[in-house]
Amino acid sequence: MRLAILFNGQGDQQPAHLQHLQQDAPPVMQQALAQALPTLWHSASIAPQALAANAVAQPLIFAIHMYWWSALQAQLPRPVAVAGYSLGEMAACCAAGVFSAPQGIALCAARAHLMDACVTGPAGLLAITGLNQRAVQRIALQSGTVLAICNSAEQFVLGGLEENLQMASTLAQKEGARRVLRLAVHTPSHTPLLAPASQSFLQLLQPHATAPLGLPVLSAIDGRTAHTSAEALRALALQISQPLDWAGVLEAVTEMQPDLVLEIGPGNALSRLWRDRDNGIPIRACEDFRSVEGLAHWVAQQHP
């Protein structure tokens, strides 16, 4: 059976995810999280908005990815490829053996710090649905924002400073967009505003560049397959400040002809994007299931 794995990004994390890790994550992962999130990790009560900060969201979501992956890996066939949406590419590289989960948690904390240091004022991402790419690019040009992510022919994400995003929102509504949504991300990810973070993060990743790559990793920038850790890490650093072609990634996965696709991480946003393609290949998200055993049972039933 041919399996592809997609690791999702920021936006759907909830206090229950942190509480689950506090109770059930392996001790080595809990120790890394306690170091990355010293105040939050020991909190008995957590407000959802506390998890939106970049410095919290990135280590937390990565840990959720790797908790599921470590629990499932032995029960799954070897994936034909792994890919990650934005932050999810960190998990894809970890699943491929480039660095360990505790190392990845520390790297995510550093990644968040480097990204936050690039922008001093309010900034973030704006999702636009229902307009074509030409219209969205025109809005970006007029508002001073940047096309950060292409999810499909009618689903895009702009990145930029807050006042520019507000202008882009107004312009998109005037253009007749079906939906305009300010995402729960406070950094203009995948835009040139974060170029210094890409350069610095690449240097932090260099000690891992000679590790064997255990799985093919698809770059979120263009869907190309990395065959060495050095290739995967270069793409991982560059995507901080370069636009993502997630539609191209999904096309690349489709061309690999998997029998099924599994989304790992909080929420099921990638599953919805995949189903919109209507390619007949089944997909499920981890959070569709109440247990690892239930998910593994579903995978076992998918044998052609």
- Indicate the domain borders of the chain: 3-118+192-301, 123-182
Query: Is it true that domain 3-118+192-301 has CATH number 3.40.366.10?
Result: yes
- For the chain, the distance separating the N- and C-terminal CA atoms, rounded to the nearest angstrom, is 7
pLDDT recorded at residue 304? 54
Closest by CA to 33, choosing from 52, 7, 61, 75, is 61
According to DSSP, the residues that pair with 149 across neighbouring strands are 157, 244
Nearest to 158 by CA among 167, 168, 150, 148: 148
* Segment 66-86, tens digit of pLDDT: 999 999 998 899 999 999 999
Cross-strand partners of 283 = 261
300 pLDDT above the threshold of 90? no
pLDDT score of 273 more than 70? yes
Instruction: Return the percent helix, strand and coil in the chain, to nearest 5.
Output: 50, 15, 35
- In the block, tokens 């399996």 appear at 3
**Which pLDDT band, with edges at 50, 70 and 90, does 303 fall under?**
low
Q: What is the pTM of this model?
A: 0.94
| pLDDT tens string 220-272 | 999 999 999 999 999 999 999 999 999 999 999 999 999 999 999 998 999 99
Q: Which residues contact 216 (CB under 8 A, 6 or more apart)?
A: 80, 81, 82, 96, 225, 226, 227
Q: Which CATH number fits domain 123-182: 3.40.50.1970, 3.30.70.250, 3.50.50.60, 3.40.50.10320?
A: 3.30.70.250
What's the whole-number mean pLDDT along residues 209-226? 97
To which residue do tokens 């948690």 refer?
A: 105
pLDDT band of residue 290 (cuts 50, 70, 90) is confident
pLDDT at 51: 83
pLDDT digits (tens, 9 = 90+) for 7-53: 999 877 888 888 888 888 899 999 999 999 988 887 767 777 778 88
Count of CB atoms within 10 A of residue 223's CB?
20
> How confident is the prediction for the chain on average, in pLDDT?
93
Confidence check: pLDDT of 184 > 90? no
Alpha-carbon gap, residue 141 to 152, rounded angstroms: 20
